[in-house]
Chains A and B, each alone.
Chain A
Amino acid sequence: MSSLPLSRRAFFKGGKASRPDLDRLNPNWPTKRVAKLIRNNLKKNSPIYHPPKVDELPPVLPVTHSTESLQVVDWDMGAARHLLCRTMFGPKYPEIKEASENPLETELSSILSTVSLPDPPGEWVYEPAPQWDALTGEEIQELMNQYREWMGELRYWWMKGMMRNPINIQEMITLFWHNYFATAQSKVFFPQAMYQQNSVFRQFGLGNFKELLRQVTFGPAMMIWLDIHQSKDVEPNENFPRELLELFTMGVDNYTQDDIVEAARAFTGYRTNGVETNYSFEEASGSGPWWNEWHDFEEKTFLGQTGNWNGDDIINIIMEQDATAVHICTRLYKWFVYQNVDETIVNEMADIFRNNDYSITTVLYFLFSTEHFYDENFRGADIQNPLTLMQGLIRKCGMEEFHFSLYYFIHSQEFLGMLPLEPPDVSGWPGYRSWINSITLPVRKVQASSVITGQSPWGNFDVTTNVRALAQSMYDQNEEGYASEQIVRKLGFLFFGNPLSENLEGRMLSVLLDGAEPYDWAINAPPNNPQWDRMRDLMVYIMRVPEFQLS
């Protein structure tokens, strides 16, 4: 296996050879002077850890291809858990129970409904870009420190926000689109732009894909990230058109190099200062002196169609192609289901997508209704990404209101490999098995256990999970059997995607009981009873077993 064992030497290697985040910086933007400072500041930080990609696909197993709607009888606790864990961060046991007692359609309506946007992290999101040339070197450095602080606030705000939504997909879809249109703040540099992109994901993430694509493309973040704003008719920049075609819409082999060149000519003349752009959504065009000067107004032939195309026209043509729907649905499938793609399902999704004006809500509604989605194969097939793992865990344990330190949230993600706003490159995080190697796995365990122990490599804290409340939230007095056994089963249900094996259940029970008999354990024991210490031991044990990593 390529990721095992990872030598610590390789892990620490942060030399010049491995700083792509420095190499992709534009040396002239926003000004030469500022660009130099940006570069120097970045150099001072340790490189973000990006776990090496694990290349091999797992073997294909027989899974139902049924696109029929899930039978009512199959909509049970297991199915509800599966759906909720894929669409939100950390559903709690009572929430799963309640969902399983409502019809699937009701739950899907809640999950896919549009909810209000959260308040922004601060007024700074409206700060205009400065006049760099009017600032002294000191002032620039100070502003950069300010930007760095705001970027941290943005991250914290987002990570905290992941845990706020009850049964709704907004947070998960935002992360999905962040991975899809992967944009890194180390190059974008303006926190306002990163915020704007994040709010675009929230606002447009469930609607019509073309509109989302437009909003993302012509936002300041993407324009900087893929060099759209540098693209001029005299030297069109192919970066964006290439990724547009390859990653965001049609996928490789559906276009030629010529198409990229022509599309690059169309994507010229757009400009941003990091916060504002020269693009008008109403006119679907750039405007102003820069546009007039640098846009290529000549004829272009793209995917067999000729005209005086601009960026919007290119997008329109792409959205007419069949391959587009297939590619987008494939990526949706891979995130929400599994990395081995089921062609039958994806083709059906693509049809629905095309026939419904590329409505993301509609295609997801379809996917989440099929028997295929609820196939037993997919239970526990998701190696949780570090954000889902940690934020989901915090919420499941009822600690979502606790004010964790910025250090705790963010620096842990630097280590685990999914620092929000800093994907390794435009193809997003490789994900799946690459999250787990001999360096990250022990840290995932320690960091997870911290919600019980209050100790993490990134800070200690006093308030930890109220295990008694957790147990009582799961307990049902109408169920037969000892409370201790019931709690063990339900903890296994809540935290493991795979069905709880007899062996593991037995071990968990012996950890909880620590030599006592099942009847020695009482659901109503007072909070200072040492049996709750054993439950804390059990929680930590749960977070150490391999099964915990999977959802």
Chain B
Amino acid sequence: MKRRDFIKSAFALSAFGTQVPVMALGRKNQFGRIVQWDTDRIIVLIKLNGGNDGLNTIIPTQDDIYYNARPSLAISPNDALTIDEQNGFHPNLSAFHSLYQSGNMSLIHGIGYPQPNLSHFRSSDIWVTGSDADQYLQTGWIGRLLEQEYPDFPSNAPEHPLAIQFNSANLLEFKTSGSNTGMMVFDPETMYNLINGNYVAGEDDPAPDTYGGTELDFVREVDLLSFEYAEVINETAGQGSNSVEYPETNLGYQMALTAQMISGGLGTPIYRIYQSGYDTHADQNNDHSNLLLDLNNAVLAFMEDLSNQGLLDRVMVVTTSEFGRRYFENGSTGTDHGSSAPCMVFGSQVVPEMFGEQPSLSNLDQNNNLFIQHDFRQLYTSIITDWFGLDTEISTNVFGQQFVTIPFVQTPLSVRTTPIPAKFKMHPAIPNPFNPSTMLSYTLPNNGNVTIRLLDLRGHVLKTHPLGKQNAGRNIFKLDGRNLASGSYIAQVEAAGSVLNQKITLLK
């Protein structure tokens, strides 16, 4: 194989475990967003790894069976943060409480799947592959989703990672039949420091004071520099920032990093975060409470951060888990594996309601576990069709059947608030990429003033060309890049009371 072809089509891994190709030129589609880049929507999925105890997260404050079955674990109606008559939040979820009341949170009860499997691995696999309990799929639902947008993946992949996963080496969720669309960041703290220039290789795990250690240091240094998406992530995330302090926990780092990447303009639409420790078979009180507190604080910081930066409208956060836990406590003041559990959705574009209700603790399945109220694939289908605004055919292709959506998404993919006159158009710049100049062209419905601006990817105006009055019809403007550095820019045309943008790339 010629080296050129290898680089374009093969995989390359880094310290962070990516399995992505070297960057190629972008492609126009919903995710590429070359023309309408500022309407990206993003989903942040948080897996509560181990099986979250839903009943102690959203407490059934009126259910006697709950209180009888959990003498040491049940949370009293006084301690719970009241949602309504039947429901209360765990006391550590104060931020969730406020978010729900301020209309930024949605609650969905009873998410699971028929014939629940009580094994971590198997149940997790079912969730990530989006299969039935008796199916064994080898690809992930996100993989099958992204594959429809990028059929040749990894050829013709965009410049940014399609999906980023933190903290788990299991990339099955993003696996396609030929490849894997997920990029793994196994060490978010390292990556965070790397982007922000604070990283010292091996600082948290110093190499031994031997020749073996010396060589290890060397390999670690090369490792950092070989990180495949280093360029685009450093460029974008490096320009992003956090406007609040995040908890200094593993989850906190993951969310801080996600927010920073979004803030910097990284085009990745899907993030998967892992928070581990939910497998609370013993001494659940402390462990679960601490986890929920961490989750509470991290999500709050994230929401505030994005809100401060005006990014919240584009982002939705969803918690998932491979199963819930039993309604009764075991002999070790813990709970064992169960079936369904609630999911929580956060964002400014969610319907602030509860979908479903507290599960019945008397009417149970053959394993004495809770019946499901919603299939998890309904949750994912809603994300695909309502949040990302994709065709139902796409979600049907992902899951092999059509699932009824859960209407927790408030608005469809955002449309422009100012209607553009039917004939004001911007045509693709030619050439693009370019060096040293390119022709921007646009069509005006009427004679009018036109201003052309050049912006960087973060939206800062670099140059302004007030063109004055231009004629109706098609016009051309030559943009000279001789004094610019190589890279991507936004060419913006303002006319007829509207603004149109287009991404152009200078390659010297």
Contacts and interface: CB of A to CB of B under 8 A. Distances in A.
A519 to B, nearest CB: 9
A546 B122 contact: no
A541 B205 contact: no
A540 B225 CA distance: 20
A379 B214 CA distance: 11
A58 interface: yes
Contacts of B85: none
Nearest to A441: B226
B102 interface: no
A507 B213 CA distance: 19
A381 B225 contact: no
B24 interface: no
A503 B205 contact: yes
B225 A59 contact: no
A340 B214 CA distance: 12
B278 interface: yes
Interface stretch (B216-224, B295-303, B498-506): B216-224
A498 to B, nearest CB: 5
Interface string B2-29: 1110110011111101000010000000
B121 interface: yes
A61 B221 contact: no
Nearest to A547: B216
A439 B10 CA distance: 13
Contact of A442 (B12, B125, B212, B221): B12
Most-contacted residue by chain B among A340, A438, A504 (CB, 10 A): A438
Given A433-B215, A515-B120, A541-B169, A415 B13 contact: no
A340 B211 contact: yes
Interface in A518-551: 520, 529-531, 533-534, 537-538, 540-541, 544-547, 549-550
A516 B121 contact: yes
Interface in A54-79: 58-59, 61, 63
A161 to B, nearest CB: 25
B121 A380 contact: no
> Size class of B's contact patch?
35 or more
Contacts of A383: 215, 218-219
Contacts of A380: 208, 210-213, 215-216
A550 B276 contact: no
Contacts of A120: none
Contact of A531 (B121, B210, B213, B274): B121
A287 interface: no
Interface string A489-508: 00000000111010110010
Most-contacted residue by chain A among B122, B170, B186, B226 (CB, 10 A): B226
Contact of B1 (A433, A457, A503, A530): A457
A157 B274 CA distance: 46
A330 interface: no
A46 B11 contact: no
Interface stretch (A3-11, A97-105, A304-312, A420-428): A3-11
B267 interface: no
Nearest to A517: B279
Contacts of A533: 121, 125, 170, 172
Contact of B124 (A8, A377, A515): A515
Contact of B121 (A340, A376, A514): A514
Interface string B319-354: 000100000000000000000000000000000000
Contacts of B228: 442
A395 interface: no
Interface in B92-119: 119
Contacts of B439: none
Contact of B210 (A377, A437, A530): A377
Nearest to A528: B136
Given A46-B2, A446-B10, A540-B169, A437 B222 contact: yes
A514 B219 contact: no
B210 A455 contact: no
Nearest to A383: B215
A334 interface: no
Interface in B222-249: 222-223, 225-226, 228
B121 A529 contact: yes
Interface in A1-55: 1, 3-5, 8, 11-12, 46, 49
B212 A498 contact: yes
B212 A377 contact: yes
A511 B169 CA distance: 6
Nearest to B122: A530
B401 to A, nearest CB: 23
B54 interface: no
A222 to B, nearest CB: 31
Nearest to A443: B12
Given A516-B50, A544-B15, A497 B120 contact: no
Contacts of B186: 507, 541
B169 A58 contact: no
Contacts of B425: none
B207 A498 contact: yes
Contact of B211 (A5, A378, A538): A378
A226 to B, nearest CB: 30
A537 B212 contact: no
B1 A61 contact: no
A338 interface: yes
A449 B13 contact: yes
Contact of A457 (B11, B204, B209): B11
B168 interface: yes
A380 B207 CA distance: 11
Interface of A: 1, 3-5, 8, 11-12, 46, 49, 58-59, 61, 63, 338, 340, 376-383, 411, 415, 433, 436-439, 441-443, 445-446, 449, 455, 457-458, 497-499, 501, 503-504, 507, 510-511, 514-517, 520, 529-531, 533-534, 537-538, 540-541, 544-547, 549-550
Nearest first, the 8 closest Cβ-Cβ pairs linking A and B are: A380-B212, A457-B10, A515-B49, A530-B121, A381-B211, A546-B219, A445-B13, A503-B205
5 contacts: A46-B2, A441-B219, A498-B207, A531-B121, A545-B15
Given A8-B7, A438-B222, A449-B13, 18 more contacts: A3-B222, A5-B225, A5-B226, A11-B3, A380-B211, A380-B215, A381-B211, A441-B223, A442-B12, A442-B14, A445-B14, A515-B49, A515-B279, A516-B50, A517-B281, A520-B120, A530-B124, A545-B15
Interface of B: 1-4, 6-7, 10-15, 17, 22, 49-51, 119-122, 124-125, 168-170, 172, 186, 204-205, 207-216, 218-223, 225-226, 228, 274, 276, 278-279, 281, 322
